[in-house]
Amino acid sequence: MTTKNFWRSLEEYANFEEFQKSLEDEFPPDAAVRQGVVDRREFLSLMSASLALAGLSSCAPAAPEKIVPYVRAPEEIVPGKPLFFATAFPLGGYGLGILAESHMGRPTKIEGNPDHPASLGSTDAFAQASILSLYDPDRSKAITQAGAITTWDAFITNLAAELDPKRLNKGEGFRILTETVTSPTLAAQLKQILQQFPSARWHQYEPVNADSARAASRMTFGRYSDIRYHFDKADVILSLDADFLLSMPGHVRHAREFTARRRVKAGEKEMNRLYAAESAPSVTGAVADHRRAARPSQIQDIASQINDGVAGKGSTGDAWIDAVVRDLQASRGKSIVVAGPHQPPEVHVIAHDLNTKLGNVGQTLEYVDPIEPNPVEQMQSLGDLIKDMQAGAVDLLLIAGGNPVYTAPADLEFAKHLANVRLRIHFSLYEDETSERCHWHIPETHFLESWADIRSDDGTTTIMQPLINPLYAGKSAYELLSAFLGQPTRTTYEILIEAWGQGRNKDEFEKLWRKSVHDGVVAPELNAVGALYERPGRSQTAPTVSNVVAGFSPRSPSDVIEVAFRPDPTVYDGRFANNGWLQELPKPLIKIVWDNVALLSPATAERLNVINEDVIEIKSEGRAVRAPVWISPGHANDAVTLFLGYGRTRAGALGSNRGYNAYSLRTSASPWLIKNAEVRKSGERYALVSTQEHHSMENRNLVRRASAAEYAQRPDFVEAERDTPPGELTLYPEYAPEEYAWGMSIDLSTCIGCNACVIACQAENNIPVVGKIEAGRSREMHWLRIDRYYQGDIHEPEIFFQPVMCMHCEDAPCEPVCPVAATTHSSEGLNEMTYNRCVGTRYCSNNCPYKVRRFNFFNFHSNEAPSMALLYNPDVTVRSRGVMEKCTYCVQRINHARINAKKEDRAIRDGEVVTACQAACPAGAIVFGNIADPNSRVSKLKSEPRNYGVLTDLNTRPRTTYLAKLTNPNPAVKT
Amino acid sequence: MSQEIIGSGHTYATITDKISSIVLTRKTPHGWLFGFGVGFVLVMLLLVSITYLFVEGIGIWGVNIPVAWGFAIVNFVWWIGIGHAGTLISAILLLLRQGWRQSINRFAEAMTLFAVACAGLFPVLHLGRPWFAYWLIPYPSTMGIWPQFRSPLVWDVFAVSTYFTVSLLFWFIGLIPDLATLRDRSSSRTGRVVYGILAMGWRGSAIHWHRYEMAYLLLAGLATPLVVSVHTVVSFDFAISILPGWHTTIFPPYFVAGAIYSGFAMVMVLAIPIRAVYGLEDFITMRHLQNMAKVMLATGLIVAYGYLMEHFMSWYSAEKYERFMTLNRWGGPYAPAYWALILINIVIPQALWFRRVRSNVIMLFLVAIAVNVGMWLERFVIVITSLHRDFLPSSWNMYYPTFWDWSTFIGTIGLFLALLFLFIRFLPMISIFEMRTLVPRSEGD
């Protein structure tokens, strides 16, 4: 196989710019500007035309843009055989290394990139769901000027006319607003623009940002500095309202590192201990060994008290705090204090102080230079821009990404002042609230459609490769900025190659580039991301941490109600509002779908005389918002938590006019907290949908739990119930397992309830979205759900997560009741559904004690836009109306491995079959494999004493078993 | 015996005249037109509901996960139960030589057929893919696959279809002598031809009567076990499962008793107005009504015993899921349905202990209505409350019937009514020849 052939076939396969060009040459110029949905037929014809013309165009001496498949270099594309390409999923400016699975040119699934330090092979729910956005029919499809469709050329012409006078006046009045930028190339382009237009300014703003941490590092060290945590090295972790397992940059790696210290073998009791103080229960709080519910403003007091304690100022009289202090002192150099991004800078400063005092710096965490080439305090940056807009000093504004009209704090009145700008250009994935108020709208390419580079929170840089040609008339940010640099015809690829290849030997660069693109991690030799921008230098008189802390005034508790803001756990800051998978993903703790809520504690709800679904009105500084109440056990009293990301007016068919808009209360001075809000019951009701309505386990021992110490003493504690009937009770002889007997083990000690598996399963298995109404009728289709139970005091409950999917029972109750033999047992122990045979009596679901079967009450896929058909995994049947479905243990993946093994005439190796949920799990809680092989990983886990099955008293003998949850409570703390 | 099973003064001729005149000579009463009209409109509603169901899918109903069976199954069991009385009255009482059955057996049998027809609709309608319903029938399929015979749903197919077939035959054979009478007495040519064809050449010869009696007796013998088997098998739909509230060995006898209970109640509900409208008090006498009331009382007590044992066993078994199920019926979200069931189905029918109630037609009618409502509630409680909270609390959820659930149910009531009115109008609703056998005895008493 020659390299040349290999490249050539890939070019044909993966749609490059020249294909697009040849298309545009072939057809009238406006052919590329497509209005409306590209349906499947149209898309396929376009694809085939691209392929055909690509053959022609490759005769022309065009510079090839090479993308590199991850695993193996096939001579030709083998139909039915997916290829994996390394790229990265950007969120909040930071990249998560992923492998995108591509079937015949269609990206269908996201997997983690094991070589990428931020991913380690796992992903999160956002990354999993991002593939749906690629095919979203509501994405913006055309360049528009004042709402009318136009062309890139027209834009270029207009832009040139605009920029020419700007060159003369040094770019006076020219402003660029971006989201967080970590891309070295993009930053370099921006720098070039600023050089060409010295009076122009670049602002960065995202509603969920690192401003607090930045301000704290400025206050503490006199310069910006990021923290990199190493949770695997910490024995004791204190989270100060920091949801580091789910929502902070690097959370996938954090989850892996954190849970690595929570796997306890029989007889051991070494595990880390997590203390969490937080207002609204988060995933991190739920897995904490000790969780303290505290109002957002009290976190600082708690932090100060702990800080004083560690400094040796004696007992505080609070047993919880004293215990934390003693534990931290006992683990010097082996602890982490992590402050939440939504806490004020003071809390971050205290955390710096604590970590310094405890000798953690350099051990469990390190201070590093910011990943962003040009770190700014974004609220300040946006404020400056708006001030200029208000003063009429801005006459050309490029909003390159983001949706500031929707996400800017209410007090800044972005939309109002935007009208002062003479020419407004908006560039984004969707035509949104901001596009509406701009003259020009340029559609952005999805990250799977374009080349790019991006950095992760740990500093890894990834070259992102395109998996597919832009479905619509999208442009990348690089192309857009290049147009501002007067080079509108340059492709993203050219821009990147030039940026990275600068000053390098061509052959050497070629090699390094290929390796970097292939690995999804830029080769160290290539990775020279220098400081492009001047950063605030180290202040000469940098105050020591303790001095800064001493200056804080303690916050006195008051009895007014505080309102905290949080990014939504599924739609984030609103950017995923039109993503059906994420909308229908139950929020980790409250299990609400399709809406945001106002979270309250039970006591506060009583005080306000409200119950679930009552609408409350929250007033602050003359602004008001109405939000439906959801009572959350474990929430801090006298506090309300509001979630961003809803109440959008132009998000698309799924995301618009859903929920309330929390941004309309937010202020720039205190973006995460309103200290004194007026909250009252409005008398209205609003119907919410929660996928889990009952929260107690009813003493049914579904999640079994012990402390690590108890486990060391009594390793067989899970059998205390003695509910598994003895084997001889059955009349039938046991089937001897054949070569393979598939089974699964789920470790409840490490499951953090993050939902990554749920979306991974949905993406892998073509599971439809049913919508709020159908979800409200309890007809959601998720094959894998995460049950959440509360136990104990309603104010400070213990919180449990339990992923539940088909248990593949040996004696499956669903099988004998099916009248048509549509659900049967395979020789390898899989409980299989034959969709074609199912007539839909639903008896199997009635008889399933785990209620994991899902029924197609309607033809749910029929509502989907034609473009969604491209998303389907071709290895999995798309189910139609009237049939039952459920988890298959990813039988398509088993068969894939079986085919490979047979070709090589060997047995399937342990670890060769990885289910979609297992692959996604950042905690590594799910392990799948052959239980007939005593040496397989899953067999070993199942032989651990804390292995148990749920509802085994029914003699179902499930193939999926759980490892009991272990916690590591501090004996000094009661509860 | 103070009350007769046939009014005094009747001769062969008066009986024949009276019963056949309803079909042949009397003017169609306005009440009939009204009643049939109501039935017809509801049948149209049923057709609309079914059409919409087939177009959209089962999702138009309130069923969900975990409550995957809803009104369709409740209605199925209810109708099947009602369909019990006819064959029981005809076959078992025939074998037991209960002469009083002879004035009510004909329309009880007709009622059975119509109820089973209504019942038979539901298992098909409730399928996710009703067009494949025939896959439940064992036939040499090109796919080389048989039904899964361990499933009670397959047993259901056999039980219900056998029951329907035998009931139809039994009813039709019973009709033959009377059809011949109608053929002979009909004044219109159409009547003579149609009844003539249906009479299958009946001439009333001794050999005809001999064979007829033999066939009827044999069919009665065949039908008798079916009365017991059909509802036993229907109860297996529940009892075979592992669901608390369903998984109960007491179900077969208690379902059969409940079926007879509701069947007799339905006969009563129909007989009381019909005898008033058509002036048939001489044929369906107070003695009939009283006997039926006694059967209802007895079967009702068996049903009550069934409820009691269910609760006793859930306590005695010390099974946590069973106990929870019982407590959930008592105090869960569907508790109103449960307590209404106890009131309507157990408490109210105790009035039948009193002779004064048993001899009051209005009271009997009201009690019979109550029993029919109560038995419907029983099936609702069994199906819904068991499913909505089973093993894993995380999947507990509520079931709310939709408009289409109700429209389909009410539509089948319309179908039942429409068929019944057609029957009353075009066939002798009381067996003429069997009534004639009662004459000498009534004169002799």
Whether the Cβ atoms of residue B403 and residue B410 lie closer than 8 Å to each other: no
Give residue B425's pLDDT.
87
Least confident of A220-234, A544-558, A781-795, A888-902: A544-558
Tell me: pLDDT of A303 over 70. yes
Res B444: pLDDT: 38
Q: Which residue of A has its CA nearest to B143?
A: A837
Comparing CB atoms, the residue among A700, A779, A846 nearest residue B59 is A779
A722 band by pLDDT with thresholds 50, 70 and 90: low
Q: Measured between beta carbons, which residues in chain A are less than 8 angstroms from residue B390?
A: 849, 851
Judged by CB atoms closer than 8 Å, whether chains meet at A839 and B59 is answered as: no
Q: Three-state SS string across A823-878, please?
A: EEECCCCCEEECHHHCCCCCHHHHHCCCCCCEECCCCHHHHCCHHHHHHCCCCCCC
Contacts of A847 in chain B (CB under 8 A): 241-243
* pLDDT band of A807, cuts 50, 70, 90: very high
Chain B: give the shortest CA distance to residue A779, in Å.
Answer: 6
The number of beta carbons lying within 10 Å of the beta carbon of residue A737 is 17
Alpha carbon distance A14, A21 (integer Å): 14
- Find chain A residues with C-beta within 8 A of B145's C-beta: 820-821, 837
Phi then psi dihedrals of residue B412, to 5 deg:
-70, -30
Closest Cβ–Cβ partner in A788, A849, A882 for B128: A882
Q: CA B292, CA B288: separation in Å to the nearest integer?
A: 6
B322 Cβ under 8 Å from any chain A Cβ = no
Residues A582-598, mean pLDDT to the nearest whole number: 93
- Percentage of chain B surpassing pLDDT 90? 56
* Pick among A703, A783, A820 to test the B interface (most B CBs inside 10 A): A820
Mean pLDDT on B358-379: 93
pLDDT at A733 over 80: no
CATH class, B12-444 region: mainly alpha
Indicate the residue among A368, A392, A426 that finishes a domain: A368
Nearest chain B residue to A814 by CA: give it: B241
* CA distances (Å), origin A787, targets A605, A629, A961, A963, B389: 24, 21, 15, 15, 15
Please indicate, yes or no, whether residues A618 and A756 belong to a single structural domain of this protein.
no
Q: Are A682 and A718 part of one and the same domain?
A: no
Q: Are residues A715 and A635 in the same domain?
A: no
* Shortest Cα–Cα distance, A269 to chain B (Å): 30
CB A910 within 8 A of CB A935: yes
CA distance A585 to chain B (A): 16
CB–CB contact B65 A819 (8 Å)? no
Tell me the chain A residues in contact with residue B389 when contact means C-beta distances shorter than 8 Å.
Answer: 694
A32 falls in which pLDDT band (50, 70, 90)?
A: very low
User: Of A368, A394, A424, which residue constitutes the final position of a domain?
Assistant: A368
Kindly list the residues from chain B whose CB atom is less than 8 angstroms away from the CB atom of residue A843: 68-69, 151, 153, 237, 241
Q: What is residue B24's predicted lDDT score, i.e. its pLDDT?
A: 74
User: Is B339 part of the contact surface with chain A (CB cutoff 8 Å)?
Assistant: no
Residues in chain A within 8 Å Cβ distance of B395: 692, 850-851
Q: Does B187 touch chain A (CB under 8 A)?
A: no
pLDDT at A482 over 90: yes
Residue B155 has pLDDT above 90, yes or no: yes
Same domain, A329 and A273: yes
Q: What is the mean pLDDT of residues A649-677?
A: 90
Q: Tell me the nearest-neighbour CA distance from A784 into chain B, angstroms.
A: 12
Contacts of B64 in chain A (CB under 8 A): 777-779, 857
> Is residue A196 assigned to a domain?
no
Q: What is the pLDDT of residue B27?
A: 78
Q: Is the per-residue pLDDT at A25 higher than 90? A: no
- Tell whether B394 is within 8 A of chain A (Cβ): yes
pLDDT tens for A235-293 read 999 999 999 999 888 999 999 999 999 988 766 778 899 999 999 999 999 999 999 99
| Band of residue A539 on the pLDDT scale cut at 50, 70, 90 | very low
Contact A777 B62 (CB under 8 A): yes
Q: Which amino acid, A335? A: S
Residue A847 lies in a domain: yes
pTM attached to this predicted model: 0.88
Determine the pLDDT at residue A8.
37
Please check whether residues A658 and A767 belong to one and the same domain: no
B18 vs B153 pLDDT, higher one: B153
Whole-number Cα distances in Å, A845 to A567, A851, A900, B66, B246: 36, 6, 34, 7, 14
Confidence of residue B64 (pLDDT cuts 50, 70, 90): very high
Please indicate, yes or no, if residue A473 is contained in any of the structural domains.
Answer: no
Mean pLDDT of A316-329: 88
Q: Which of A368, A402, A433 is the last residue of a domain?
A: A368
Average pLDDT, rounded, for chain A: 86
For residue A961, what pLDDT band results from cuts at 50, 70 and 90? Answer: very high
Retrieve residue B66's tokens: 């975990």
The whole-number pLDDT of residue B246 equals 92
Within a domain: A668: yes
Considering the domain architecture, whether residues A809 and A901 belong to the same structural domain is answered as: yes
pLDDT digits (tens, 9 = 90+) for A102-121: 888 889 999 999 999 999 89
A855 chain-B contacts, CB cut-off 8 A: 58, 65, 68, 128
Q: Establish if A260 belongs to a structural domain.
A: yes
pLDDT score at A56: 45
Residue B16 has pLDDT above 90, yes or no: no
B152 upstream amide cis, omega within 30 of 0: no
Q: What is the mean pLDDT of residues B82-108?
A: 79
- Are A817 and B240 inside 8 Å of each other by CB? yes
Query: B284-324 pLDDT, tens per residue?
Result: 888 888 888 998 999 999 999 999 999 999 899 888 899 99
Chain CA centroid to CA A890, Å: 22
B124 shares contact with chain A (CB less than 8 Å)? no
Residues 864-893 of A with CB under 8 A from B: 881-884
More confident residue, A919 or A553: A919
Predicted pLDDT of residue B274: 85
For residue B442, name the pLDDT band (cuts at 50, 70, 90): very low
Residue B445 has pLDDT above 60, yes or no: no
Whether A37 shows a pLDDT value over 70: the answer reads: no
Indicate whether A681 and A719 sit together in one domain.
no
The answer to whether residues B83 and B110 touch, using CB atoms and an 8 Å cutoff, is no
Predicted pLDDT at A235: 92
Residue at A138 is within a domain: no
Contact A401, A478 (CB under 8 A): no
Whether residue A404 lies inside any domain: the answer is: no
Cβ contacts of B62 on chain A, cutoff 8 Å: 777
Nearest residue to A139 (alpha-carbon basis) of A653, A594, A492, A504: A653
Q: How many CB pairs under 8 A join A and B?
A: 164
| Domain extents in chain B | 12-444
In tens, the pLDDT along A696-710 reads 888 888 899 888 888
CATH number, residue A339: 3.40.228.10
CB contact under 8 A, A882 and B154: no
A710 and A686 in a common domain: no
Helix %, strand %, coil % of chain A (to 5): 30, 20, 50
* Chain A residues closer than 8 Å to B129 by CB: 838-840, 881-883
CB contact under 8 A, B58 and A821: no
More confident residue, A66 or A568: A568
Give A-chain residues touching B241 at CB under 8 angstroms. Answer: 813, 817, 843, 846-847
What is the rounded distance in angstroms from the CA atom of residue A183 to the CA atom of residue A174? 22
Are residue A231 and residue A351 in the same domain, yes or no?
Answer: yes
Put simply, whether B1 touches A (Cβ < 8 Å) is: no
pLDDT tier at A735, thresholds 50, 70, 90 = confident
pLDDT 10s digits, A489-534: 899 999 998 888 888 888 888 888 998 899 999 888 776 655 455 5
Q: What is the pLDDT of residues B393-428, one digit of tens each?
A: 999 999 999 999 999 999 999 999 999 999 988 888
Percent of chain A with pLDDT over 90: 57
Residues A575 and A711 both lie in one domain: no
Number of domains in chain A: 3
What are the residues whose beta carbons fall under 8 Å from the beta carbon of A483, sequence distance 6 or more?
A155, A156, A159
A659 and A768 in a single domain? The answer is: no
**What is the Cα A724 distance to its own chain's centre?**
39
The total of other beta-carbon atoms located within 10 Å of residue A491's CB is 21
Of the pLDDT bands very low, low, confident and very high (cuts 50, 70, 90), residue B438 is: confident
Mutate to test the interface with B, among A842, A859, A887, A953 (most CBs of B within 10 A): A842
pLDDT digits (tens, 9 = 90+) for B115-152: 999 999 999 999 999 999 999 999 988 888 899 999 99
Is A669's pLDDT higher than 80?
yes
Considering only CB atoms, A693 lies closest to which of B237, B243, B397, namely: B397
Beta carbons of A787 and B136 less than 8 Å apart: no
Residue with tokens 């008001």: A624
Task: Give the Cα separation of A247 and A587 in Å (integer).
Answer: 13
H or E stretch covering A85? strand A83-91
Residue of B nearest to A789 (CA): B394
Residues on chain A touching B133 (C-beta within 8 angstroms): 839
Q: Are A967 and A707 in contact (CB under 8 A)?
A: yes
Q: What pLDDT is recorded for position A3? A: 37
Cβ partners under 8 Å of residue B357, min gap 6: B293, B351, B363, B364, B367
- pLDDT tens sequence across A640-651: 999 999 999 998
**Residue A49: per-residue pLDDT:** 54
The conformation of residue A434, written as its DSSP 8-state character, comes to: H
Question: CA-to-CA distance for A137 and A769, rounded, in angstroms?
Answer: 15
Q: Which of residues 398-417 of B touch A (CB under 8 A)?
A: 398
What is the number of other CB atoms lying within 10 angstroms of the CB of residue A728? 7
Average pLDDT over residues A840-864: 92
Task: Check if B127 contacts A (Cβ < 8 Å).
Answer: yes
Nearest residue, CB atoms, B148 vs list A693, A777, A819:
A819
We report the CATH number of the domain holding residue A842 as 3.30.70.20
User: Does the pLDDT at position A631 exceed 90?
Assistant: yes
Q: What is the pLDDT of residue A742?
A: 94
Q: Which of B57, B64, B129 lies nearest to residue A778, judging by beta carbons?
A: B64
Q: Do B56 and A858 touch (CB under 8 A)?
A: yes
Tens of pLDDT, residue by residue over A420-479, are 899 999 999 999 999 999 999 999 999 999 999 999 988 889 999 999 989 888 999 999
* Closest-CA residue to A742 (of A583, A542, A899, A887): A887
pLDDT band for B6, please (50, 70, 90 cuts).
Answer: low
Coil, helix or strand at residue A505: coil
A621: domain range?
A: 561-690
Q: What integer pLDDT is reported at residue A576 of this predicted model?
A: 93
Query: Per-residue pLDDT for A626 more than 80?
Result: yes
* A656 and A714 part of one domain: no
Domain membership of residue A150 (yes or no) is: no
- Classify the phi-psi angles of A637: left when phi > 0, otherwise alpha if psi is within -120 to 50, otherwise beta: beta
pLDDT digits 0-9 by tens, A138-197: 999 999 998 899 999 999 999 999 888 888 888 888 999 999 999 989 999 999 999 999
